[in-house]
Amino acid sequence: MTGKTFYRRVMEANGQCDATAARRATAAVLHALRDRLTQPEADQVFAQLPWELQVVWVTGEEPERRPLRTSRSEFYERVRRDAGLASTQEARAATLAVFTALEAQISRGEADDVLAQLPRDLKEVWAEAGRHAGPLCGAFVSGPVVARDAALFTDLYELTMAASYSRERMRGEATFSLFVRRLPRQRAFLVAAGLDDVLAFLESFEFSEGAIRYLRSCGSFDASFLDFLGEVRFTGTVRAVREGTVLFADEPLLEVTAPIIEAQLVETAVINFVHLQTVLASKAVRSVLAARGRPIVDFGLRRTHGIDAGMKAARCAFIAGAAMTSNVLAALHYGVPPTGTMAHSYVTAFPREIDAFRAFARAFPRNTTLLIDTYDTVAAAHKAVIVAREMEARGQRLAGVRLDSGDLVSLSTAVRQVLDEAGLRYVRIFASGGLDEEEVARCIEAGAPIDAFGVGTRMNVSADAPYLDIAYKLVRYDGRNVLKLSPGKATWPGEKQVYRLRRPDGQFERDVLAVRDEPPPRGAVEPLLQRVMAGGRIVEPQPTLTAIREHCARQVAALPEANRRLAGPRYSVEPSEELLALRRALEAELEASEVGRQA
């Protein structure tokens, strides 16, 4: 960050001092801290300060006196005296404010080294500063995942375009539209997801000092542009559909309006967040539909593509209607109910299968589900009956048995017969093992007596359609509507709205892709894009995950029955006459001015 940004952080952290007071407090605290450190550590901190603060740091420096072993009270007294403050309380507030800004400025390793040289009572103040600072400067937090220097989570060409815009003094307002050009063959609709991460990323968007140092080392960007980047924040507006909303090809999931450099720099991250989660939610909802009301459990963590994808898969499966997850970290951060039974390794670790069953029943008597396909599924079902009888004698009940391999239709039928003949109709049958929506549908259609399904890898990597043809395209700049004519990639110009018309029974009838401000069609109509961010700040708190899940369920239920099928037909999305006219007019202008022209 620059010196200006550092002082602003001090003012924000203190809450009561003006710019002049912030400068005095910063100088007083930095000098007291400098003199408390050894020379090597003081030099390390100095190297990570912006040049304005380096000047402050060295003012009045007397290296031969360091380190001064000051106590906390002595430290505060020096700050009070040098900053011209009235009390120790004000000195403590100033120290906390400057430590908060410094915590965001220097590297984690250097912060730890500084902390090691502070007396215990000042360590507590530094720790409090870390809590006040919140996420590190330039960091993005999504659930348990923290990305440092997150503004660099971008493609290089976003930065080169931004540098050129800056050089040409292009500061006009731009609108970019995020949409899916065409649906995969296996998808009749999409479930929008990922908005929560987009808004969090935009609200915290900032190039850290480390990010600027790296870009400077690349040698591709001039100093004035890098100084400019150090001050860039996202100040724009976002209009978006709610997470959990059903959408179709060409319909914007969101539109970003901001000065063109800001809107361009965030492109990669916006696409990434929405793409992954929309892919995952759109896949998971198919298993939920195929199960016809039977619970679906997310079982895919171990084969998802990394920590973040595993977290997002659990989140999106829950949005789509999955009942529970095996992912304990997702349960903690998202509030998704966790569940789990046992693996085959647990069964084989015991001398006999029934020993494993009994041990598990003793450990988890209130939720015992036995994995019965390790050796012989039907024989193991009879052993499960024995364990169930023993549990009944203790006033307990066997919750269920799990099948994880083989012909699930025939095996579940045989196991159900064993259980029912033993009077254990209350014991549920849970099936897992390489399932996807097609296999779930096959089991249901065959009449398999399966009560719930664990769906894993194929759902959590969206095996049949692992990506979407998603795009983030400029549709308006500096008061001028724009479009591209690239074959197969032509765009709809201008800011847009999606109007959804419903039949009298509440079912979706058709969607109209329209110019943003044109009058809506007649009838029961719903505008899908709503303002969720203005001035770079979230307009209102986002819905809870449970509320998003409930919204998704209502959306899917309102789809025409044919469109809910796994191989459903395409839903009707029509451009409005005004949008068609706008596109034709712009195409004509471009045909006259650009097509076939050499210069």
Q: Angle CA(290)–CA(295)–CA(296) in degrees, nearest 5? A: 65
Domain 3-134 matching CATH 1.10.490.110: the answer reads yes
Tell me the pLDDT tens digit for each residue of 271-319. Answer: 999 999 999 999 999 999 999 999 999 999 999 999 999 999 999 999 9
Mean pLDDT of all residues in the chain? 91
Checking if the pLDDT of 132 tops 60, the result is: no
Share of the chain above pLDDT 70, in %: 94
| C-alpha–C-alpha distance, residues 421 and 442, integer Å | 26
Using 50, 70 and 90 to split pLDDT, how confident is the model at 384?
Answer: very high
Checking if the pLDDT of 347 tops 80, the result is: yes
Residue among 377, 382, 565, 579 nearest 495 (CA): 579
Checking if the pLDDT of 459 tops 90, the result is: yes
Q: Where are the domains of the chain?
A: 3-134
The residues, any chain, with a CB within 8 Å of residue 440's CB and separated by 6 or more, are: 287, 290, 291, 296, 453, 455
Residue with the two structure tokens 């000092």:
209
Q: How many CA atoms lie within 13 A of 368 on its CB side?
A: 26
Instruction: Please give the C-alpha separations between residue 578 and each of 255, 464, 584, in angstroms, as whole numbers.
Output: 19, 37, 10
Tell me the pLDDT tens digit for each residue of 562-583. Answer: 999 999 899 999 999 999 999 9
Instruction: Please give the C-alpha separations between residue 390 and each of 353, 383, 394, 399, in angstroms, as whole numbers.
Output: 15, 11, 7, 13
Could you give the 3-state DSSP secondary structure of residue 427?
A: coil
For residue 336, count CB atoms less than 10 angstroms from its CB and return exposed for 0-12, middle for 13-18, buried for 19 or more.
buried
Cis peptide before 67 (omega within 30 of 0): yes
Whole-number pLDDT of residue 119: 64
- 120-133 helix and 88-105 helix, angle to the nearest 10 degrees: 60
Query: 449: which 2 tokens?
Result: 């007596």
* CA 47 distance to own-chain centroid: 34
Mean pLDDT of 135-157: 83
For residue 265, count CB atoms less than 10 angstroms from its CB and return exposed for 0-12, middle for 13-18, buried for 19 or more.
buried
Query: 518: which 2 tokens?
Result: 């044109």
| C-alpha–C-alpha distance, residues 502 and 355, integer Å | 58
Whole-number pLDDT of residue 575: 96
Task: Answer yes or no: are the C-beta atoms of 1 and 209 closer than 8 Å.
Answer: yes
